[in-house]
């Protein structure tokens, strides 16, 4: 139920944002309009890239159904929205603030970027988790430095089951 | 399972170490599923109801529930109708031990149980603690050296010692996508629980840790290739 509530919150926030985009489009592009496609990469708080909401059912997305891919981009955009990039206001989603920016192309929302999203409490971890590309990799290599402690997989849970007490008696 | 308590402060005494072992002993008496008379065993046998559980037990069950939630169900202490809280108790116990030591006015120490550690302050040469990550293909080798100077915790979850000790609760299958994942957290409780869950997630575990604020990870695959989260480098000892 809690999750449902959260989804509801997100729906409200995104829904309100969708409304905002729509209103802006009626206003014929006010001061917040920018050129689409020239945005710097947005970084979320704590250096994390902005997250999507992968666990959110697709039906909660406020974007209108995009036109089929085969539709050629008309020179006269005929979607609901005016092309541009729009920044929403900061919304309190009760577990943190959410602020999004939408990119409209050919009258449809083509991208929603999260300028602010909660990432510092455990509730929002659930929402923010999504796959990221792995940035770097390397072949493992032996190191020779002196260390204080070694971290490795003991058969930890099995080992714990096998009784910490017996280990303690050896360790004392 | 080796337990080590290293106390660096000159005013530390054997009583401090003894207090830690006493605490861990009490925790084990309550939570060991291998002890017939432990509280958890009584609960699993139906001899004791969850309603009559001790406060410590309720605390652990709450923490487990919360962890299950934030790990999308990848961390689950319930299997086949049995509650096995060891996956959460270990990190929690190490953190409790560290709290106990701080309460005894100790600042510089490390508590390690079976490869999972909580450090505090500095080591005996007055430097940040140095933690080696074991090579999952060769336990005598280290593949990374971490420098921890801010009371972090570090835990490694892996499959290479004993096959099949971590299950993917979503599939009921043994998690075996990767060899090991080492997680550095703001404390050992965070590091341990998220290492366990991330391991169960397999290759997606690294992306999960990337999203967990305060945690970084180093993952080793079956192909001996390692990958890591974006903030991991700052903990790696410069060569």
ipTM of the complex: 0.86
pLDDT at A48: 36
Model confidence at B61: pLDDT above 50: yes
**CB proximity B139 to A under 8 Å:** yes
Long-range contacts at B92-98 (CB < 8 A, ≥ 24 apart): B92/B60, B92/B63, B92/B189, B93/A164, B93/B23, B93/B24, B93/B27, B94/B118, B94/B153, B94/B188, B94/B189, B94/B192, B95/B153, B95/B187, B95/B188, B95/B189, B96/B23, B96/B27, B97/B5, B97/B20, B97/B23, B97/B24, B98/B187, B98/B188
Give mean pLDDT, residues A105-123.
Answer: 59
User: Residue A159: which of B114, B207, B230 has the nearest Cβ?
Assistant: B114
Residue B230's domain comprises 3-235
- The residue of B74, B115, B224 whose CB has the most chain A CBs within 10 angstroms, and thus the best one to mutate to test that interface, is B115
* Residue environment code for B108-141, b if the CB has 16+ CB neighbours within 10 A, otherwise e: bbbbbbbbbbbbbbbbeeeebbbbbbbbbeeeeb
How crowded is residue B47: how many other Cβ atoms within 10 Å of its Cβ? Answer: 10
Mean pLDDT of chain A: 52
Measured between alpha carbons, how far is residue B210 from residues B127, B136, B141, B220 in Å? 28, 22, 26, 15
pLDDT digits (tens, 9 = 90+) for A30-46: 333 333 333 333 333 33
User: What pLDDT does A153 receive?
Assistant: 83
**pLDDT top residue among B144 and B201:** B144
How much is the pLDDT for A5? Answer: 55
User: Which of the four pLDDT bands, split at 50, 70 and 90, describes residue A83?
Assistant: confident
Q: Does B127 touch chain A (CB under 8 A)?
A: no
Give the pLDDT band (50/70/90) at residue B78: confident
Q: What is the mean pLDDT of residues A3-8?
A: 52
Inter-chain touch A162–B1, beta carbons under 8 Å = yes
Total Cβ atoms within 10 A of residue B94: 30
| A108 contact partners, CB below 8 Å, separation of at least 6 | A63, A64, A66, A67, A79, A80, A81
What confidence tier does A53 reach under pLDDT thresholds 50, 70, 90? Answer: very low
CA–CA distance, B1 with A129 (Å, rounded to integer): 33
What's the pLDDT at B177? 73
Is there a contact between A146 and B114 if contact means CB atoms under 8 Å apart? no
Contact at CB, B131 and A51, closer than 8 angstroms: no
Least confident of A13-22, B77-86, B109-118: A13-22
Q: Count up the domains in chain B and report the number.
A: 1
Q: Which CATH number fits the domain that encloses residue B83?
A: 3.10.520.10
Chain A residues 139-168 within an 8 A CB cutoff of chain B: 139-165, 167-168
Token pair of A157 as six digits: 């849970």
What pLDDT does B146 receive? 97
Alpha-carbon gap: A159 to the closest alpha carbon of chain B (Å): 6
Most confident of A55-59, B167-171, B193-197: B193-197
Segment A147-169, tens digit of pLDDT: 999 998 864 333 333 333 333 33
Averaged pLDDT, A108-130: 52
What per-residue confidence (pLDDT) applies to B2? 78
Q: Which helix (H) or strand (E) holds A91?
A: strand A91-92
Q: CB-CB: which of A129, A145, A152 is closest to B139? A: A152
A168, B18, B106, B188 from B12: Cα distances, Å: 20, 11, 7, 22
Tell me the whole-structure pTM to 2 decimals: 0.63
Check residue A117 and give its pLDDT. Answer: 54
């Amino acid at each position: 139920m809690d999750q449902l509530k959260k989804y509801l919150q997100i729906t409200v926030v995104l829904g309100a944002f969708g409304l905002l985009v729509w209103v802006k489009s009626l206003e014929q592009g006010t001061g917040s309009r920018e050129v689409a496609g020239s945005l710097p990469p947005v970084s979320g708080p704590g250096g994390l890239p902005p997250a999507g909401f992968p666990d959110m059912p697709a039906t909660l997305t406020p974007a209108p159904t995009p036109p089929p891919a085969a539709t050629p981009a008309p020179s006269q955009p005929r979607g609901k929205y005016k092309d541009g990039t729009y920044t929403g206001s900061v919304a309190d989603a009760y577990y943190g603030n959410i602020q999004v920016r939408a990119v409209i192309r050919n009258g449809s929302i083509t991208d929603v970027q999260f300028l602010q999203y909660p990432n510092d409490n455990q509730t929002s971890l659930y929402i923010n988790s999504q796959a990221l590309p792995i940035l770097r990799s390397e072949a493992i290599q032996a190191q020779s430095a002196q260390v204080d402690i070694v971290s490795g997989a003991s058969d930890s849970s099995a080992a714990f089951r096998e009784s910490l007490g017996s280990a303690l008696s050896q360790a004392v | 399972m080796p337990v080590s308590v290293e106390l660096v402060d000159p005013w530390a005494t054997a009583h401090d170490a003894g207090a830690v072992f006493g605490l861990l002993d009490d925790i084990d008496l309550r939570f060991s599923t291998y002890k017939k008379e432990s509280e958890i065993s009584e609960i699993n046998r139906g001899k004791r109801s969850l309603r009559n559980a001790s406060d410590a037990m309720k605390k652990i069950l709450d923490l487990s529930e919360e962890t299950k939630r934030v790990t999308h169900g990848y961390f689950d202490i319930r299997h086949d109708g049995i509650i096995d809280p060891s996956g959460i108790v270990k990190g929690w116990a190490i953190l409790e031990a560290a709290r106990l030591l701080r309460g005894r006015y100790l600042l510089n120490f490390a508590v390690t149980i079976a490869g999972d550690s909580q450090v505090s302050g500095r080591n005996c040469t007055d430097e940040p603690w140095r933690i080696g990550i074991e090579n999952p293909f060769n336990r005598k080798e280290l593949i990374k050296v971490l420098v921890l100077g801010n009371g972090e915790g570090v835990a490694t979850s892996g499959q290479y010692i004993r096959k099949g000790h971590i299950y993917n609760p979503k599939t009921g299958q043994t998690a075996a996508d990767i060899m090991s994942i080492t997680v550095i957290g703001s404390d050992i409780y965070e590091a341990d629980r998220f290492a366990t869950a991330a391991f169960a997630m397999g290759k997606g575990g690294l992306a999960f840790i990337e999203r967990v604020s305060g945690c970084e990870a180093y993952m080793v695959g079956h192909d001996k290739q390692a990958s890591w989260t974006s903030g991991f480098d700052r903990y790696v000892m410069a060569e």
